[in-house]
Structure 1
């Protein structure tokens, strides 16, 4: 009996030893671990040694990310806080004793969360390329949930997530293009900062929710769309065709810096021998990417060797970065009178195609087409093709590229002209004006200027009807309704990242009206009801019926406006003060707070039944350090929430001089500018 007990104890002891010696992947990186770019330990490796998390060189410093180890160059697949400036060599990554993953710089004087997790007990760099944090061996945060420009095998791009290209292969900050998994199930690629046609996309999967709302890449190199339905359909993009026999193969799908989405395979024969192959490419020609060449430049070439060139009379904004667009090296950039007395000449460019609408088109002989452009103060470019003369005005905001089968081009580019509709045409098109959307008044001079506005974040004015007392404006149709619908009545409100993108869309539209248009325009009625969502859920400002052109004498208020925008109008509208562009800043601030909270500007969902202005309630929460109350049950990184709230509160200051310009607002939204604490809000009257 004693012998049996002894044997039993020995077996249990051996089992215990065996259990303790098994590798525990959720415990590979312990609390109080640290990385430094100047120490021997600058990264944490995955068990296979193929992936690393830590510091990598960028610019004149270091960035934090995950890379696929290779020879001679590593491939960065994920970057933390990618738009922050590079950190210096005294920075450290610390997995603190409290379970926080922190970046510390300046000998510990400044710290920032790398992962939005306050408490964890271990971490690991997995062989999949996923960096994870654990609590009791359960994953509570993972880099796979926050993709930058790449997804790896076993990773998915889910509903409303996006990939944003890097600036270049050596600079992994946010670049010029993004690939968005839209809510309608279509995967679409867009230029990030484009003022192009409403159909802004240059590539799409042409799928819908019946196929699925997830883009997935499996470990066998199969890139496909799928869903979580019981009987999902699958739409395949690509499968690996390259054979990597007797070697490790790792797949990645990346939105590259040139805007093209590609599938790659990495074959590792050994630690010193590896190869990379392009398995699939969404586009074969870089010139097919909208925005590949920026304003006032055009694309030439084929495949991946395309180049950007300036139009005659223009030079590159940055000679070292020829994708950055061009500017006119002399003279004025818009029509300010006759060309008489100025020295202009016609320069010919062969086989150039514009993908945009001219402001004028007529049948003319080739020679007369050039003369017609010289005699027209608005004309910068005349396209002569098939006996038709089309005229354009700078700046070119859309794609232009060399095209082999076109005939000829004369000079340089153009604006959109409004179409005149008859009352009968509009009555028929609207089924007898069955559904009225909006009304207002606007002058002919304002129609002329607004008709020339052309921006991704403005609803496009297509035409007008002047039939005696019956006057109408005709805008493009956007089927996804208003921002108010999305924020206040939708079954599922947009996630935080998407809401912040919408706020930036609106701000960029206002920047165009205030600073980039031919004449400065005060919109005067910025509300969620006047922000429309297009097919790709891009926000566009609408309803210019109340807008005013800002000339040196500015504009005085109109009390009739107050009934349209309760809670959004700046105080100066109510006291007959001079109205400036800062009135739109106030309205934007109110809209931003509504976007943050998903609540109306007047009715705040507070514990009392009293009506409270949203801006004042937000300020009270800010002072009390209780911003979480604004979000109901939504969990957002506090630093991001505080930043957005501070921007909104600065915008709704009673004194117009205290409000930031829209350009500074955009810099703050993008994280490029520090934001001091806003002052207290003065009482604001509202009109019932």
Structure 2
């Protein structure tokens, strides 16, 4: 602890009562209900719990009551749920739960006793809403789950964090968070940054490296006099950290006291800056800014979003786009910028230099991982980026040239740095073109003519489509009649002869083995799957596979040629895939497939899943995406097989309940949580497969050379965060940009929260390089 140059004080906290004791808090009894605009106030009426206006509706939370109708929200329940209507109610049920009931959907539990059923609730003068048991012991309190604020007397425990609000009028989770780390350091990060050291933009500098880790395990505590302290629970020592803050320029004479007419709160504001405020409850009811971790919003990483930088004009922080970029939303400039020009093609790694101009910016730097870092002159750096089709921007410092692709993040001013930005000469087509002139038709004859022509064209199109559909239907009927005539869909005995009594086994699938066979006098190779489980279970899986494959047709899905159902025998006849499975190719082959081949296979699999999710008559969740179920045809095209576990969604469904399915190591976390399953479960499995394609190894490898490499998904994120992606493909020549692209897509796909995972359409667009890929947050390590 001697290495920390901060004075340690003994924790001694007392609450001084400088005025008359308030009335006993009013208890909220079981069976009580609350609707807007009523609320449950604290005894002094300084705090209230209930519904407060947010957007076009209302949210549930706690607020400080100000003058007139002004309120300061200090806590929000289920903050990322959409606002509710004025008809919503809060019910304190007979079983001791606080439940939100709305017209939009099922009831939501706001609070329930973790240490036993609650008997009553109280909105305390501390700003803490508490559920008490019969013995007056706390069973739940809002202080245990802070959102963006801690109040005097409240603790932010080690490992917990505050998350900023989205904006002043929307208290859902915003873009920044403040984490009380277990190493003793209080640190501010941008949201979804992965909490890497390089992403931190403010910290107390109180992390330690002693022999006893508990010496540095602090909690953040705001005491009754407005003092912010790091409290060590193991030895009751306190680090007073007010001096680590900047005194606000508008409040040079800060006076922290324990006046009972003053309430203190520390809030991570929407701009990412942690600030300390005081609220006085005299006749004026003023709010003062006392302390601030940073002076300007421009000092916050990510304040201006991708491809934009911040300038400071007095106390006003302004965001500006890089050359060749426009704001994503001109009304919300902190969301960042996007390119306003079209990209040129790329051949053999060389770009079309005549298509671009170089814009130079002095004293500008950013915080991304360069894919190229070499020693060269400034002019060579500029021309090298211009000619390199992978380069969107280059940073020159000293004698170093670092190349980077868009988007750029954490842009800020820094002396002696020169930025070269590549700007295209052809504008990007607008997303929603607006006609500059409007043609008004006033002639009745012309209007009748237009209506008749439109109607005629519509009728003609319908007739043509009907004829075409009839033609296709007849072709398919004739084809299957021919198959029946030739015996391709014959009885089990005939399929037994076709497979030489099921002699040559190709592999095992879910609920059955697959055998090689021949039809049409040996001219057509097929794969015959024989279900081997119990009759009732096999019947269910058989019908599932028939429903799935029978109504799908895509170049990246294995094609079903026919089936046989007689008594308890269940047989499926597929096209024969001559080159085995992707598992054989990745894990069993002597030579790895080259990088270009792996990228193509990854796209094949993604397009097949995209077809199942979005292009079928009704969405299909495969439920068992893994390398063993991805087969390779004669031309090494990847095709998804084995729909035995598939789950179907009705046309108006987006999720469904179902029993546990899939293979360990590939199943999404929601399978273990007894919550509805959506197509995002397949996205998770695809993310694992994508990382396996990148590294040519299994997700779980107990024989890995190092303990950190056992779980591939966890190791991949560590390599990405440390800028060591080359470790994933040691000994191979790969394109570093496509490697980073595949790893980033894989990490987004395996996020624990399904909402954070991209759709398969988005994944395909990111892999194809059509859309940009933001930096993924750290995923949760999958269960082994």
Cα distance per residue 1:316-355 (max 9 Å; x no partner): 2222211112111222399565333753212233432334
User: What SS does the corresponding residue of 1:114 show, helix, strand or coil?
Assistant: strand
Q: 1:373 aligns with which of 385, 405, 426?
A: 385
Cα distance change on mapping 1:317 and 1:256 into 2, 3 Å:
same
**Residues in 1 aligned to 2:259 and 2:602: alpha-carbon distance in whole angstroms:** 77
List per-residue Cα deviations over 1:113-170 (Å, max 9, x = no partner).
1013383221111000000111112211100000001100000011211111111111
- Partner in structure 1 of residue 302 of structure 2: 291
2:88 is aligned to: 91
SS in 2 for 1:269: coil
* Corresponding residue number in structure 2 for 1:135: 133
Contact 1:254/1:261 (8 A) holds in 2:
yes
Contact 1:392 1:412 (C-alpha < 8 Å) held by counterparts: no
1:571-610 equivalences in 2 (<5 Å): 571-573=626-628, 576=631
The aligned counterpart of 1:351 is 363
Shift of the alpha carbon at 1:400? Answer: 1.3
Instruction: Choose from 71, 76, 80 the match for 1:79.
Output: 76
Q: Structure 1 residue 410: deviation in Å?
A: 3.5
Is the contact made by 1:647 and 1:665 (CA closer than 8 Å) also made in structure 2?
no
Distance in 2 (CA, whole Å) between partners of 1:321 and 1:580 is 43
Change (3 A) 1:550 1:106: same
Secondary structure class of the residue paired with 2:44? coil
- Unaligned runs of 5+ residues in structure 2 are 1-21, 208-213, 246-252, 424-581, 585-592, 606-622, 642-660, 690-744, 760-784
Provide the C-alpha distance between the structure 2 equivalents of 1:328 and 1:576, rounded to a whole number of angstroms.
39
Query: Aligned to 1:263, which of 256, 276, 293?
Result: 276
Which of 46, 53, 56 is matched with 1:57 structurally? 53
Q: Which residue in the other structure is 2:155 paired with?
A: 156
* Corresponding residue SS for 2:237: coil
- CA distance in 2 between partners of 1:581 and 1:132 (Å): 56
Per-residue deviation, 1:50: 0.7
Distance 1:312 1:575, change over 3 A: closer
Please say if residues 211 and 225 of structure 1, whose CA atoms lie closer than 8 Å, have aligned partners that are also in contact: no
Q: CA deviation at 1:183?
A: 2.0
- Local SS of the residue matching 1:97: coil
C-alpha contact 1:226 1:233 (8 A) present in aligned 2: yes
Change (3 A) 1:182 1:653: closer
Range with greater deviation from structure 2 (196-205 or 157-166): 196-205
Residues 352 and 402, structure 1, Cα contact 8 Å, conserved in 2 = yes
SS in structure 1 at match of 2:193: coil
Task: Name the structure 1 match of 2:223.
Answer: 218
How far is the alpha carbon of 1:223 from its aligned partner?
0.2
Deviation string 1:228-285 (CA, Å, 9 cap, x unpaired) is: 2245243423599336797711011111111111111111213xx2222222211223
- Please state if 1:549 is matched with 2:598: yes
Q: What TM-score do you get using the length of structure 2 for normalisation?
A: 0.51
How far apart, CA to CA, are the structure 1 residues paired with 2:350 and 2:150? 55
User: 2: distance between equivalents of 1:93 and 1:333?
Assistant: 57
Change (3 A) 1:552 1:356: closer
Distance 1:24 1:321, change over 3 A: same
What residue in structure 1 maps to residue 121 of structure 2?
A: 123
Distance in structure 2 (CA, Å) of the matches to 1:327 and 1:53: 42
| C-alpha distance in 2 between matches for 1:89 and 1:292 | 34
C-alpha displacement of 1:554: 5.7
**Rounded Cα–Cα distance in structure 1 between residues aligned with 2:684 and 2:353:** 48
Matching residue of 1:207 = 206
**2:109 match:** 113
Contact persistence 1:379–1:391 (CA under 8 A): no
Contact 1:212 1:232 in 2 (8 A): no
Asked whether the equivalents of residues 166 and 175 of structure 2 are also in contact (C-alpha less than 8 Å), the reply is yes
RMSD: 4.5
Output the CA distance in 1 between the equivalents of 2:594 and 2:187.
Answer: 32
Cα deviation code 1:30-54 (max 9, x no counterpart): 22222212x5x2x111111111111
Q: CA deviation at 1:218?
A: 0.6
Distance 2:186 2:344 in 1: 37
Report the CA distance shift for 1:300/1:333 in structure 2 as closer, same or farther (over 3 A): farther
| 3-state SS in 2 of match to 1:167 | strand
TM-score (norm 1): 0.58
State the 1:207 CA deviation: 1.9
Report the Cα distance in structure 2 between the residues aligned to 1:103 and 1:671, rounded to whole angstroms: 25
- Residue in 2 that maps onto 1:642: 674
Structure 1 residues 36 and 320, CA, compared in 2 at 3 Å: closer, same or farther?
same
Q: Work out which of the residue numbers 319, 324, 329 in structure 1 matches 2:335.
A: 324
Mapping for residues 224-239 of structure 1, pairs under 5 Å? 224-237=229-242
1:198 Cα deviation after fit = 5.4
1:411 pairs with 2:421: yes
Q: Which residue of 2 aligns with 1:100?
A: 97
Residues 202 and 290 in structure 1, CA contact (< 8 A), matched pair in contact too: yes
Distance 1:376 1:211 in 2: 48
The residue correspondences of 1:481-520 to structure 2 (distance < 5 A) are none
CA distance in 2, matches of 1:357, 1:671: 23
Q: How far apart, in 2, do the equivalents of 1:100 and 1:203 lie? A: 39
Equivalent position SS for 1:392: strand
1:369 deviation in Å?
4.6
Query: SS where residue 383 of structure 2 aligns?
Result: helix
Tell me the alpha carbon deviations over residues 489-509 of structure 1, each in whole angstroms, 9 at most, x when there is no partner: xxxxxxxxxxxxxxxxxxxxx
Q: Aligned-pair distance for 1:221? A: 0.3
How far 1:383 moved relative to its partner? 3.7
Question: Alpha carbons of 1:545 and 1:150: their partners in 2 closer, same or farther (altered >3 Å)?
Answer: farther
In structure 2, the partner of 1:500 is none
Q: Give CA deviations for 1:166-190 in whole Å, capped at 9, x if unaligned.
A: 1111110001111112222222211
More deviation, 250-259/329-338: 329-338
- Give deviations 1:607-648, integer Å, cap 9, x for gaps: xxxxx97999x99xx8xxxx8xxxxxxxxxxxxx43398899
Distance (whole Å) between structure 1 residues aligned to residue 320 and residue 595 of structure 2: 40
Answer whether contact 2:684 2:749 (CA < 8 A) is retained. no
8 A contact 1:246–1:269 mirrored in 2: no
